């Protein structure tokens, strides 16, 4: 099921993209590298077959120190050797890398991401700031890879040269839409009612105070319901060549914070356009399989939705790492007396919902020739100037 074998990079390279064998990788920078999502990215980039981490950036609190000194590391795996001695930079747009991931706090992400795109860097963002911009792809490769066609118009609109911004959805939207996609394709969707039970790591570090969450449930996460009700419309909608057309779903979300460390559980009722039996729904979910292009990406899983038959699954503690954290796990598929079908789903908020999602987006961008060697591009520009 897992396709985490070393990537056949040459097999997915497209015309015009730099030829890079396993020994030469795209150089990646991580903005917000000291945060909880940034750390995941740093961890996932260690030994990545296509990307090498060359730059880390964060706030003034961290800049000027080595990454090992600046970061308050939360993962079980140790800080990757390649990252430990990197000097944390600020948000100046002179980083030595071919593209950047952004895991910045949203208070600074909006303008910083624009600055990097304007300076020629592809920006693969986790943050909410540009997700709903009319010319920025909000991307889940298994769902709407065609939305990347918006990039040339974004560059034209904004006067960007080689830079651009691509975003991944909010952590609770990511799992939901991955599960909705095969149902939309097979039966069409009319209405979605979703109640989330979201992990505390979704709030960054230190996140929710222990006095507020220990032995408790908080029925409010600022801005989350709005994001969950808007983002699926764009993700499941279409790029028509000049704009994104919403999917037009009826969608209502209730978002709750629960005392779980990692993994968002969601209870979903779904109204379908076409009548379907429960077996047909389970089959559509089980048969959801990525195409050959996506299967060749190092972080992709061939079947991104896993269906469990046990009546008490999925559970965060037992299922959060399914498919290396890149799968959505579905259980309890049953009839809904109000809509047509209801189910429970679980996804890893920091992997499928954040760092893993951004990494998969970057891999698709690389495979489609959107990432360039900036050293090469800068050298060619200098040579062209000298010839004048």
Q: What does the alpha-carbon distance between residue 30 and residue 86 come to, in Å, rounded to a whole number?
A: 11
Q: x/- binding map, residues 151-180, to ligand NAP, per CB under 6 A?
A: -------------------xx---------
Q: How far is the CB of 135 from ligand NAP (least distance, A)?
A: 20
Does 34 contact ligand NAP by CB under 6 A? yes
- Cα 116 to chain centroid distance, Å, stands at 19
Q: What does the alpha-carbon distance between residue 52 and residue 95 come to, in Å, rounded to a whole number?
A: 14
Q: What does the alpha-carbon distance between residue 358 and residue 192 come to, in Å, rounded to a whole number?
A: 26
Q: How far is the CB of 205 from ligand NAP (least distance, A)?
A: 4
Q: What does the alpha-carbon distance between residue 78 and residue 126 come to, in Å, rounded to a whole number?
A: 23
Beta-strand (E) ranges in the chain? 26-31, 51-57, 88-89, 99-102, 122-125, 164-167, 189-198, 238-239, 244-245, 250-257, 264-272, 305-307, 328-335, 341-347
Which among 48, 130, 264, 348 is annotated as catalytic?
A: 264
Q: In this chain, which stretch among 78-86, 103-111, 141-149, 223-231 interacts with ligand NAP, using CB under 6 A?
A: 103-111
Dihedral sign of CA atoms 361, 365, 366, 368 in order: positive
Does 100 contact ligand NAP by CB under 6 A? no
Q: Is 94 strand, coil or helix? A: coil
- Considering only residues 52 through 71, tell me which ones interact with ligand NAP, judged by CB under 6 A: 58-59, 61-62
Q: Cβ closer to ligand NAP: 18 or 110?
A: 110
Among 126, 167, 196, 361, binds ligand NAP (CB under 6 A): 126
Does 354 contact ligand NAP by CB under 6 A? yes
Q: How far is the CB of 35 from ligand NAP (least distance, A)?
A: 2
Does 202 contact ligand NAP by CB under 6 A? yes
Q: Cβ closer to ligand NAP: 31 or 308?
A: 31
Quick check: 117 and 157 in contact, CB under 8 A? no
User: Whose CA is closest to 147, among 367, 361, 297?
Assistant: 361
Give one DSSP letter per residue of 59-79, joined into a string.
-TTTTTSBHHHH----SSSPP
> Binding residues for ligand NAP, how many (CB under 6 A)?
31
Does 198 contact ligand NAP by CB under 6 A? no
Which among 147, 171, 255, 348 is annotated as catalytic?
A: 171
130 carries an active-site annotation: no
Among 97, 109, 260, 322, binds ligand NAP (CB under 6 A): 109
Q: Cβ closer to ligand NAP: 25 or 264?
A: 264
* Phi and psi angles of residue 185, each rounded to the nearest 5 degrees, phi first: -65, -40
3-state helix, strand, coil in the chain (%, to 5): 35, 20, 40
Q: How far is the CB of 361 from ligand NAP (least distance, A)?
A: 13
**How many C-beta atoms surround the C-beta of residue 19 within 10 A?**
9
Q: Cβ closer to ligand NAP: 115 or 293?
A: 115
Quick check: 270 and 336 in contact, CB under 8 A? yes
336 carries an active-site annotation: no
Does 356 contact ligand NAP by CB under 6 A? no
| Interaction site with ligand NAP (CB under 6 A) | 32-38, 58-59, 61-62, 91, 103-106, 108-109, 126-128, 170-171, 201-202, 204-205, 349-350, 353-354
């Amino acid at each position: 099921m897992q396709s985490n074998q070393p990537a056949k990079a040459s097999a997915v390279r497209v015309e015009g993209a730099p030829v890079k064998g396993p020994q030469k990788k795209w150089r990646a920078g991580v903005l917000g590298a000291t945060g909880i999502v940034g750390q995941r990215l740093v961890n996932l980039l260690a030994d990545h077959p296509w990307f090498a981490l060359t730059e880390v950036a964060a706030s003034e609190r961290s800049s000027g120190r080595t990454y090992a000194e600046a970061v308050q590391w939360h993962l079980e795996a140790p800080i990757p050797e390649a990252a430990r001695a990197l000097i944390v930079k600020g948000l100046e747009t002179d980083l030595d890398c071919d593209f950047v991931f952004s895991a910045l706090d949203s208070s600074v992400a909006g303008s910083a991401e624009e600055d990097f795109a304007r300076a020629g860097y592809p920006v693969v963002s986790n943050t909410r700031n540009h997700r709903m911009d009319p010319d920025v792809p909000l991307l889940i490769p298994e769902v709407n890879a065609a939305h990347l066609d918006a990039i040339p118009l974004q560059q034209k609109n904004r006067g960007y040269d080689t830079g651009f911004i691509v975003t991944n959805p909010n952590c609770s939207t990511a799992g939901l839409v991955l599960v909705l996609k095969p149902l939309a394709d097979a039966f069409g969707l009319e209405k979605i009612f979703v109640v989330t039970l979201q992990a505390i790591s979704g709030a960054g570090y230190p996140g929710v105070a222990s006095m507020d969450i220990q032995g408790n449930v908080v029925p409010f996460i600022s801005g989350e319901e709005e994001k969950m009700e808007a983002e699926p419309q764009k993700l499941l909608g279409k790029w028509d060549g000049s704009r994104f057309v919403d999917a037009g779903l009826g969608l209502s979300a209730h978002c709750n914070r629960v005392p779980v460390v990692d993994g968002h559980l969601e209870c979903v009722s779904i109204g379908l356009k076409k009548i379907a039996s429960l077996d047909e729904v389970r089959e559509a979910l089980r048969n959801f399989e990525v195409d050959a292009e996506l299967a060749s990406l190092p972080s992709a899983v061939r079947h991104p939705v896993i269906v469990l038959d046990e009546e008490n699954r999925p559970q965060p503690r037992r299922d959060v790492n399914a498919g290396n954290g890149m799968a959505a796990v579905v259980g309890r598929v049953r009839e809904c007396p109000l809509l047509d079908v209801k189910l429970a789903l679980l996804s890893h908020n920091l992997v499928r919902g954040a760092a893993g999602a951004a990494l998969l987006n970057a891999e698709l961008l690389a495979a489609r020739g959107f990432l360039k060697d900036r050293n090469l591009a800068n050298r060619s520009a200098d040579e062209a100037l000298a010839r004048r």
